[in-house]
Amino acid sequence: MEPVTLTTDRLLMRTVGPQDTDAVYEAVQDPDILRWTTIPSPYLHEHAHSFTHQLVSEGWSNGSMFTWGLFLPEGEDLVGMLGLTMRSMSDAEIGFWGTKEHRGNGYITEAVLAASRWAFVHVSIDRVEWRAEVGNLPSRAVATRTGFTLEGTLRSAIVHQGVRRDCWVGSLLPSDLGLPSTAPYLPAPTSPSHPAPEDHPAPED
């Protein structure tokens, strides 16, 4: 697939390339980005070079990962990064970070909604999954504002700097944005019609 450019009310979302290497490198020196993402730490210029010269373009070309740099249209100042990584034919995991100087303006929220809507409409994705290490409250706030349903905590589900950690998990479905899904979805009833498992004591040995 060729890279796709998206726009929101305030953002230009485009692929990143060699011309963005320095901006990506400088942004990721922020300790908060290194603390809460699985980006290599320390983040070297060679990591940024590999990302902008190879990883992003390969992800678009083979359909495995769709990455956008988030820019202000006026001067194309980098305000963040967002990626959708395919987990199956119809499921993708979303990841994002915002640059320190542009946080608190709602830019990431705009981008998450735009990217998710594009994925539902144009890539036949039926579930966008969000994961964040337990304690990453800014990421959780974005997920909540954009309509993700928080589904719980997964033990030892992510690896960060060589350590397995617990993470929160949530999902956004096409129906959450008023869109149809590619496959029918039958949610579980909100009031179970069968007694809870604890109402059935296990047989004695």
pLDDT tens digits, one per residue of 140-178: 999 999 999 999 999 999 999 899 999 999 999 999 999
Report pLDDT for 132. Answer: 98
Helices 137-145 and 107-122, axial angle in degrees (round to 10): 50
Round to the nearest angstrom and report the end-to-end CA distance of the chain: 59
88-97 per-position pLDDT tens digit = 999 999 999 9
Q: Tell me which residue has tokens 């640059």.
A: 99
Q: Tell me which residue has tokens 């039926």.
A: 126
Report pLDDT for 87. Answer: 96
Report pLDDT for 75. Answer: 66
Dist. CA 86–CA 90, nearest whole Å = 8
177-198 per-position pLDDT tens digit = 999 999 999 999 976 555 555 5
202: confidence class by pLDDT, cuts 50, 70, 90: low
Question: Of 194, 195, 142, 205, whose CA–CA distance to 168 is shortest?
Answer: 142
Report pLDDT for 190. Answer: 78
Report pLDDT for 10. Answer: 96
2-55 per-position pLDDT tens digit = 999 999 999 999 999 999 999 999 999 999 999 999 999 999 999 999 999 999
- For residue 165, what are the CA distances in angstroms to 33, 44, 85, 144? 16, 24, 20, 21
Report pLDDT for 76. Answer: 81
**What value does the mean pLDDT of the chain take?**
93
Report pLDDT for 74. Answer: 81
Widest CA span of the chain, in angstroms? 72
Tokens of 98: 């915002």
Dist. CA 39–CA 138, nearest whole Å = 17
Dist. CA 79–CA 167, nearest whole Å = 25
- Tell me what the mean pLDDT of segment 59-85 comes to: 95
107-147 per-position pLDDT tens digit = 999 999 999 999 999 999 999 999 999 999 999 999 999 99
Domains plus CATH for the chain?
Answer: 6-182 (3.40.630.30)
